[in-house]
């Protein structure tokens, strides 16, 4: 620190043990001196010549030297001159037998503190030495105090000039009389342009009244200090890159008072000190205030979408309910859940999923009224508060507007996404009197939409409570069923029209519920997908399919293949290829014996990860079929791009076949299959006429009740060895 210096060095030993040096060429005289000056706590050394004296002085420090002027060789004056140059804080008393005044003057001129003649003044020597030591001690203490004061002043100046805060002094009128250089870098003013100016020049106009109150120290001498938060206006000299209009600061102000009270105070009053000015520190807290505002915002808002979070939404809802009760109004609550959002997250990654949530939140804001509140509850769940409703049905148009907005695709990066949502609506006071009741009932209404096919909105009804309770019970039962293995595998045969025999089967899962009996996939698969339990079911299906197929192959039916359905959530799993091929390896089956069926809508977004997984499955030899083909829009480019082996015509098209077998849709699908060299399988064949028409159209394989209902393996096994007998259905 260049502004600071060390305290004076080479001072005498100090107030401890006085250090004396006796220098005289007469040993007897030195002995007399020692005898006279020796006392407890005093250290005395001797030197018999000027040379010896210099050597001793160079080796250690002394408080006082008694020095003979007339030394042989190096004289006493020579030693005195050396001390003046090298040991200026060492005291010297000259001792001489010369009586001339000239000798004394010469010694004092060279820095001696006293002059003693020998032998005349020896009787007074102890007293003279004691006085000189006292004088030296006082000089030393004064020098140390002066040095400390100078050091303190330099330190204070350094701290003020180098302070990261603004340090200021005002006179009694509030004008600047001092301000440190920090004012320029922090606020953009030169020191010179503020000196003599009133402090309100740099105070934000909205804070001037507060500043005047804080600085009004002349009202009383009891309020010696204050702290206040003020906005200060920035000047024109701010450094580049700091384009600020004002700073938020904390300003400390301490009053300065004249200690001498005014003369003759009024009778009966206490004398007041006279106010002469203020001083204090200004600290920039702009970043801290921004951080506090950010923390406060984050505590009540969703960080991804900047929407109010669950906590703030509940606060708004509870306030709206209080106002609605007072005014006799209605309040609506919407619970919105994006359909199949987990599939987007798992397939395309969380970054793109987050972008979809942000885009959806922005659209939601544009669908509601100015006084409504849109919030994110978490994940893909959003809520909307609709205060001041005239009647309960007023919420439906807003829900329809939200659903209509979702019909427009989302452009995320270079991809287009289409999303749907399930919307549940509850209203106060019909559907609940508290925030918790309204949120719960809107959630129940939303789940009713989910279980009814998604992509819609519904108002809550009391009948939904029973359905919600049943759904929760079924969810718990499903978890128990997975743990206890309550599932069964049924198999529906697939017949080759060219070979006239069963060439494959499709495994269809059944749930043997201990109370409800045998449940079909439509009664629990959607629930398994919503709750994430579909992956455990998938593992069970793949293991059972490969195990049963291995048994049939061992019986000689090595041409037989097995088809299993794969849901979008299953295909989104990063390890799906390993999970499909692992049971094939365990049961030593050729990969081509397994066919996975995926729905057409899984191809609509042409996700690179889906292509990559299907390519890996095909490389392993696993077959891929598109189930329910033709029920949704899909570009022919998908059929070319995706590694697909077969198309399955949806049973709705088979059901619509006329007596003459004329079906433009099926004819088109047949043409597509032939064009892409894909195998064609028709589902839902129930009549001989349908079978004959499909054979005429060129369909490769068929399955349906005409050929056999789904059945346990024990029922299907005998039928594998005999050709199907038409029109009698196989199985029963």
Distances (CA, A) of 203 to 191, 198, 282, 287: 16, 10, 12, 18
Of 555, 542, 493, give the one whose Cα is nearest residue 683: 493
pLDDT of amino acid 3: 38
Instruction: Inform me whether the pLDDT recorded for 5 exceeds 70.
Output: no
Residue 418 has pLDDT above 90, yes or no: no
pLDDT of residue 382: 95
Highest mean pLDDT among 242-251, 453-462, 615-624, 654-663: 615-624
Give the pLDDT score at 696: 87
pLDDT for 12 equals 46
Give the model confidence (pLDDT) of 570-584 as tens digits: 887 888 899 999 999
Q: Which residues does 484 contact at the CB level (< 8 Å), separation at least 6?
A: none
Say if CB 423 and CB 413 are below 8 A apart.
no
**Is the model's pLDDT at 559 over the cut of 70?**
yes
Lowest mean pLDDT among 127-131, 620-624, 654-658, 673-677: 654-658
Q: 607 pLDDT band (50/70/90 cuts)?
A: low
- Residue in 6, 52, 40 with CA at minimum distance from that of residue 21: 52
Q: Return the pLDDT at 95.
A: 86
- Low-confidence winner among 210-224, 235-249, 675-689, 710-724 (lowest mean pLDDT): 210-224
Contacts of 294 (CB under 8 A, 6+ apart): none
Separation in Å, CA 660 to CA 240, 283, 452, 479 = 84, 91, 36, 49
Token pair, residue 425, equals 């609506």
Is the separation of the CB atoms in 494 and 708 below 8 Å?
A: no
For residue 441, pLDDT over 80 is answered with yes
The residue ranking higher by pLDDT, 55 or 162, is 55
Most confident of 358-362, 597-601, 668-672: 358-362
Tokens of 157: 């100046």
CATH number given to 477-721: 3.20.20.450
- As given in the structure block, the two tokens for residue 579 are 């999970």
Distance between CA atoms of residues 315 and 671, nearest Å: 61
Query: Which residues lie closer than 8 Å to 146 by C-beta, 6 or more apart?
Result: none
Average pLDDT over residues 625-643: 70
Instruction: Give the residue from 616, 610, 579 showing the smallest Cα distance to 626.
Output: 610
Give the span between the Cα atoms of 95 and 76, in whole angstroms: 9
On the question of pLDDT at 646 being above 50, the answer is yes
pLDDT above 90: percentage of residues in the chain: 34
Neighbours of 530 (CB within 10 A): 19
Considering the chain, what is the average pLDDT of its residues? 84
Phi (first) and psi of residue 81, to 5 degrees:
-65, -40
* CA pair distance 625, 644, nearest whole angstrom: 6
Checking DSSP bridges between strand 274-284 and strand 330-338, what pairing results, if any? unpaired
Question: How much is the pLDDT for 608?
Answer: 67
| Residue 125: both structure tokens together | 């020597």
What pLDDT, on a 0 to 100 scale, did the predictor assign at position 381? 93
pTM: 0.54
Q: Residue 451: what pLDDT?
A: 79
> Which whole number is the average pLDDT over 263-271?
60
Which residues of the chain form CATH 3.30.450.20?
A: 163-256+275-292
Do the Cβ atoms of 447 and 424 come closer than 8 Å?
yes
Which tens digit of pLDDT belongs to each residue from 62-98?
999 999 888 888 988 899 999 989 988 899 998 877 6
Cα torsion for 652, 653, 658, 663, to the nearest 10°?
Answer: 160
DSSP 678: -
Q: What is the pLDDT of residue 107?
A: 80
What is the pLDDT at residue 542? 95
Q: Which of 208, 227, 221 is nearest to 262 (CA)?
A: 221
Question: 692: which 2 tokens?
Answer: 């004959």
Q: How confident is the model at residue 8 (pLDDT cuts 50, 70, 90)?
A: very low
Classify the phi-psi angles of 713: left when phi > 0, otherwise alpha if psi is within -120 to 50, otherwise beta. Answer: alpha
* Tens of pLDDT, residues 346-396: 777 788 889 999 999 999 998 988 889 999 999 899 999 999 888 888 888
Q: What is the pLDDT of residue 266?
A: 61
User: From CA 171, how far away is CA 523, in angstroms rounded?
Assistant: 85
Which class does domain 306-461 fall in? alpha beta
The better pLDDT of the pair 545, 649 is held by 545
Delimit the CATH 3.20.20.450 region(s) of the chain. Answer: 477-721
* Tens of pLDDT, residues 684-718: 999 888 898 898 888 999 999 999 999 999 999 99
CB-based contact 681:646 (threshold 8 Å): yes
Whether the per-residue pLDDT at 14 is higher than 60: the answer is no
Of the listed ranges 41-50, 246-255, 292-301, 318-327, the one predicted with least confidence:
246-255
Residue ranges of the chain that CATH labels 3.40.50.2300 = 19-146
The CATH class given to the 19-146 domain equals: alpha beta
335, β-bridge pairs: 383, 424
Q: Give the model confidence (pLDDT) of 182-191 as tens digits.
A: 888 888 888 8
Report the alpha-carbon distance of residue 527 to residue 516 in Å, rounded.
Answer: 16
User: What is the CATH superfamily name and number for domain 163-256+275-292?
Assistant: PAS domain (3.30.450.20)
Q: What is the pLDDT of residue 225?
A: 62
* pLDDT band at residue 623 using 50, 70 and 90 as cut-offs: very high
Q: How far apart are CA 711 and CA 202, in angstroms?
A: 88
- Nearest CA to 537 out of 549, 525, 550 is that of 525
List where CATH 3.30.70.270 sits in the chain.
Answer: 306-461
Give the separation between CA 474 and CA 544, rounded to whole angstroms: 24
pLDDT value at residue 11: 43
């Amino acid at each position: 620190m260049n502004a600071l210096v060390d305290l004076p060095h080479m001072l005498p030993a100090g107030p401890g043990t006085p250090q004396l040096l006796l220098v005289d060429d007469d040993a007897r005289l030195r002995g007399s001196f020692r005898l006279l000056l020796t006392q407890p706590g005093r250290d005395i050394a001797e030197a018999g010549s000027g040379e010896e004296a210099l050597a001793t002085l160079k080796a250690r420090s002394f408080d006082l030297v008694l020095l003979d002027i007339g030394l042989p060789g190096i004289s006493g004056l020579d030693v005195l001159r050396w001390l003046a140059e090298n040991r200026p804080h060492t005291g010297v008393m000259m001792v001489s037998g010369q009586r001339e005044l000239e000798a004394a003057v010469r010694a004092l001129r060279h820095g001696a503190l006293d002059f003693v003649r020998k032998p005349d003044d020896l009787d007074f020597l102890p007293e003279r030495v004691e006085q000189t030591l006292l004088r030296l001690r006082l000089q030393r203490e004064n020098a140390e105090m002066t040095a400390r004061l100078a050091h303190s002043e330099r330190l204070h100046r350094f701290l003020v000039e180098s302070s990261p805060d603004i340090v200021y002094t005002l006179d009694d009128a509030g004008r600047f009389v001092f301000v440190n250089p920090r004012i320029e870098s922090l606020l953009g003013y030169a020191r010179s342009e503020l000196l003599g100016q009133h402090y309100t020049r740099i105070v934000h106009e909205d804070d001037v009244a507060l500043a005047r109150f804080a600085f009004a120290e002349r009202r009383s001498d009891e309020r010696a200090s204050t702290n206040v938060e003020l906005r200060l206006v920035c000047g024109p000299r701010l450094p580049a890159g700091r384009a600020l209009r004002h700073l938020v600061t904390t300003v400390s102000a301490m009053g300065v008072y004249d200690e001498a009270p005014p003369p003759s105070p009024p009778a009966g009053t206490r004398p007041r000190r006279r106010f002469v000015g203020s001083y204090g520190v200004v600290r920039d807290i702009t970043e801290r205030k921004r951080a506090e505002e950010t923390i406060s915002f984050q505590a009540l808002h969703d960080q991804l979408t900047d929407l109010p979070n669950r906590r703030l939404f509940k606060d708004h809802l509870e306030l709206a309910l209080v106002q609605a009760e007072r005014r006799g109004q209605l309040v609506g609550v919407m619970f919105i859940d994006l359909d199949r959002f987990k599939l987007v997250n798992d397939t395309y990654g969380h970054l793109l999923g987050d972008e979809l949530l942000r885009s959806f939140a922005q659209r939601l804001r544009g669908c509601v009224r100015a006084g409504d509140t849109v919030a994110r509850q978490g994940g893909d769940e959003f809520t909307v508060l609709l205060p001041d409703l005239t009647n309960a049905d007023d919420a439906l148009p807003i829900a329809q507007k939200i659903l209509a907005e979702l019909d427009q695709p989302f452009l995320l990066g270079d991809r287009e996404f289409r999303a749907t949502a399930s919307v549940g609506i509850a209203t106060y006071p019909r559907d609940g009197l508290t925030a918790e009741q309204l949120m719960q009932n809107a959630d129940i209404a939303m789940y009713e939409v989910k279980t009814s096919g998604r992509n819609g909105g519904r108002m809550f009804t009391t009948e939904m409570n029973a359905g919600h309770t049943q759904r929760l019970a079924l969810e718990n039962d499903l978890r128990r069923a997975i743990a206890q293995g309550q599932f069964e595998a049924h198999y529906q045969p697939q017949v080759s029209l060219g070979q006239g025999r069963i060439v494959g089967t499709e495994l269809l899962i059944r749930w043997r519920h201990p109370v409800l009996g045998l449940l079909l996939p439509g009664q629990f698969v959607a629930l398994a997908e919503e709750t994430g339990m579909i992956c455990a079911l998938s593992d069970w299906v793949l293991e059972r399919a490969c195990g049963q197929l291995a048994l049939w192959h061992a019986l000689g039916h090595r041409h037989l293949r097995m088809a299993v359905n794969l849901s979008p959530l299953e295909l989104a799993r990063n390890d799906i290829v390993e999970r499909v091929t692992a049971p094939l390896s365990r049961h030593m089956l050729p990969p081509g014996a397994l066919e996975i069926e995926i729905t057409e809508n899984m191809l609509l977004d042409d996700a690179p990860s889906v292509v990559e997984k299907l390519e890996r499955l095909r490389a392993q030899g696993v077959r891929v079929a598109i189930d329910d083909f033709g029920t949704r829009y899909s570009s022919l480019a998908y059929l070319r791009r995706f590694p697909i082996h077969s198309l399955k015509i949806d049973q709705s098209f088979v059901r619509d076949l006329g007596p003459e077998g004329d079906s433009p849709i099926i004819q088109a699908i047949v043409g597509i299959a032939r064009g892409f060299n894909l195998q064609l399988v028709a589902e839902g064949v129930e009549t001989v006429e349908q079978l004959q028409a499909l054979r005429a159209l060129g369909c490769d394989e068929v399955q349906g009740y005409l050929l056999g209902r789904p059945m346990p393996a024990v029922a299907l096994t005998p039928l594998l060895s005999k050709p199907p007998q038409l029109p009698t259905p196989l199985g029963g």
